[in-house]
Structure formats: C-alpha cells, structure tokens
Homo-oligomer: A and B are copies of this chain.
Amino acid sequence: MTASDWAGFFADEASLDREAYLFLDYYLECSGDPELAAAHFCSEQSTAQWRRVGSDEDLRPRFGARVVDLQILDGARPEFSYGVGSGSDAPVTACRLRIAHPHGNFGPRLPNLLSAICGEGTFFSPGAPIVKLLDIEFPESYLACFQGPQFGVAGLRERLQVHDRPIFFGVIKPNIGLPPEAFSELGHESWLGGLDIAKDDEMLADTDWCPLDRRAELLGEARRRAEAATGVPKIYLANITDEVDRLVELHDRAVERGANALLINAMPTGLSAVRMLRKHAQVPLMAHFPFIAPFARLERFGVHTRVFTKLQRLAGYDVIIMPGFGPRMHMTDDEVRACATACLEPMGPIKPSLPVPGGSDWAGTLRPLYEKLGTVDFGFVPGRGVFGHPMGPRAGAASIRQAWEAIVAGETLEERAKRHPELSAAIAAFGKPAHGQAASPQPSEQASEPDAAGGDS
C-alpha cells in the first residue's frame, strides 16, 4: 500500500453519513507506522483489494472502512503485550482507533456483522497482532432491522408485578444430577421463600436423567402452586440450550408444560439462533455467559464484554446474566457497570434488557451490588446462597428478601439478622459482611464450615 493509498481509508467523521456506518472503537498494538497499520486495518476489514488488475476503479469510497480517529497511547513499547510477536523488530505503538465501517457491506445480519468486526480482517491485519474491540455504536437505521427484546425490563416487571426493587433469581442446585421430581421441589421451596425466578443451571440440558418435558411439567405445577400460596406471579426459567434446530420445538414443549421464561446460552448456541427464536418466542428469553470470558477477560486482547452485551440485547434477550463484581469473576467494577449500562441505556427502538451480574452471590452481596449499580433495574442470582443455605432453599430465598428489606429500612444486615434466623444463618454460613465489603460463598475452609451442602458456589 502506498502513502497515497492510505488516504482512501481515512475520513473526517463529520463528513460521513452517520446512518451508513457502524462506529467501532479498537485498542491496537502495531509495529511500524501506526497510520499505515490503521489503513491496513480498515482495508482488511472491508475491501482488501479495491480494484481489479488493469482497472482504475476504486471501491473504497463506498465500501472502505475508514479511520475517523487515531490516538497514540504509547509510541514506544518495547514489545507487544502477552508474548505475541510480529516477526519484526520495529518499535511497537499502542493506539486507540475509531473506525467507521459501512454496514451496507454485509447488512443487518449477526453472523456477517461478527465476521466483519471481529473476524479475519480484524485479527490478522498486518503488523497488528494485539487487538481488542472495545465498543460498537449502531445507527438507528441498522437497529431498526432488529426486533430486540420482546418484553424488556418493563415487560418483565409487568409479568412479575415487581416494580420497585431488583428481580430475585436463584439457580436451582444441585445443578446437575437431580431427577425432575427432586429438582422441582427445590424450585417450589425457593419460590415460597421469596424468589421471583427459579432457574435451571446453564449446564442443565434435556437429558435422559432430567428430561425437559418432565422438568417443565413439574416445575410448571410447582410454580402455579407457589403463585397460589404467595399470591404473586413467579417464573420458572427453563434452560433450552440445545442444537439450533431443536430450539423452536423445545420452546413450545417447555412453555406448553409450564416454563414461562427460557434460558439459551448465548455464545455456545449462537446469537443468530437466538434472533431466530426471538421471532417465535412467547416468553422472555434470558442469556447466560459461557464462552465469553475466553475472548473477553484480558485487558488488551479480544472483544470487550460490553460489545457482547449490546449484541445479546440486539439479538432479543430480555435478560442478560453476566459476570458480576468481586475477584471471583475477574471483571473490573467499571466493566460490570459498562455491561449493565449497555443493557439499560437508550438504543433506538431496541428495548432495555435486564442486567443480572452474578457470581458467588448470597444475601450479603446484595447491598454492594445495588450500591455499585445505583439502580433497582437489575437481577440478583445466587446459587448456593439460596440452595446451599443451611436451613434449605426456602430459608435461603427468605434471607435474600430480608437483605433487601434491610437496605430499604436503612438497617445493616446484622441488625436485620437479629430478627430473622434465615438471614442470621446465611451470615454464619457464607461470610461476615462489614463496611460494605461482602464475603461470599467462596471456596475456603472458613466459608464452607458448616458445609450444609456439598459444593462452594
């Protein structure tokens, strides 16, 4: 590429038709001239060869991605991050790159979008082996091609008749191995104790030892009994993660039998499959986060979780379960907040999704989570914090509600616990919260004494 060729991959953002472009922010480490690297990066993402041999055509004006901003963060790094080499001795520059990518190159299709923004062009651009896609902005015209969440936060609150507090989820545990009968009894207990939503673990599938049909039937019955007993709506969130060509059928079978929300693991199943299911869905769709950390955990390589949160919302998830706060989940506080914001912020015609930051939660982690998010628009999703509670899941669920009541009443957890044995037992089993610093059902000898149920999280 000659110097005059580069110019075709740069543009003034103000001069562009904003509706025609996606705007992408990348972190990039490159060797050699960063402007050349940025031009290559755009070329590789879009029209890698922009004219035929012997022709003077130029496909760049319409089809070329463009650098609209290039900031040098560090102009003289000794080497690339993470032990990655370039085969060159040129000095390494770390930069932040903002790109306008013409979405007409591929259209409003999730697999093609992913291929464009985190595909070969992005991760094999010459001289730039270290890349992280940090953020994506969509124009209204692109968003308008997607349905997004069917119910959204408001629709979910309406279904549950819960308007002024977080939504209380619980992952039924033991997560793997119980037959439907025992499993449904645990769900029933947790609803009676105060959970809004009892959910299958993201690992629980339609297996011979716990068939989805029977599970949905029994949990559906248990849910209706719990609704009758408590006088409030409840949700059984059935995991229908399975091969793509079974999703619609499993949706129908689960919903017909009594599941009233469905979990589909986003990345393992594929966002496009979720978008397909969304067209058919009669109940809220909820995402779990397997297989995102492998490309999102490191600070300077891969794809930021915020991008995937936006894409999950676009695909039509009403609820997005995500790694939450605390050292266990290896997310910075800012990253968790960025994902929660990506769920809730305005996004053209796309409804908000409910963010559910999770990981080793129990009654004592509710206040710090609430304070860090600064809103009641979130879900709280303990597993062992409810189902490993020494007094059982009904008490475990009650301890969560008591923790919320303490927040509303302006009391400490300990003050509240004096009047509530469930909360007191949770504190004894799971930690000693103090000064807003939450302990959690983490693996340590202290935390698992007394070990009421096998397991740690």
Contacts and interface: CB of A to CB of B under 8 A. Distances in A.
A302 B291 contact: no
* Oligomeric state, in copies: 2
Contacts of A297: 84, 123, 129, 301
Contact of A112 (B182, B242, B329): B242
Nearest to A86: B327
Interface stretch (A148-156, A159-167, A200-208, A413-421): A200-208
A390 B53 contact: yes
A85 B1 CA distance: 41
Interface string A269-298: 111110110010000000011110111011
B455 A50 contact: yes
Interface stretch (A69-77, A217-225, A370-378, A380-388): A380-388
B175 A265 contact: no
Taking chain A's interface residues, is the majority helix, strand, or loop, or is none over half, making it mixed? loop
A279 B298 CA distance: 37
Interface in A351-401: 359, 383-384, 387-393
Contacts of A147: none
Contacts of A410: none
Interface of A: 1-2, 5, 36, 40, 43-44, 46-55, 58-60, 62-63, 81-88, 104-107, 109-116, 118-121, 123-124, 126-127, 129, 173-178, 182, 186, 201-203, 205-209, 241-245, 265, 267-273, 275-276, 279, 288-291, 293-295, 297-299, 301-303, 323, 327-330, 359, 383-384, 387-393, 442-443, 445, 448, 451-457
Given A50-B455, A54-B452, A111-B241, 15 more contacts: A48-B174, A48-B383, A49-B175, A49-B457, A53-B392, A105-B176, A106-B205, A113-B268, A115-B265, A119-B203, A119-B265, A129-B297, A244-B275, A270-B273, A273-B273
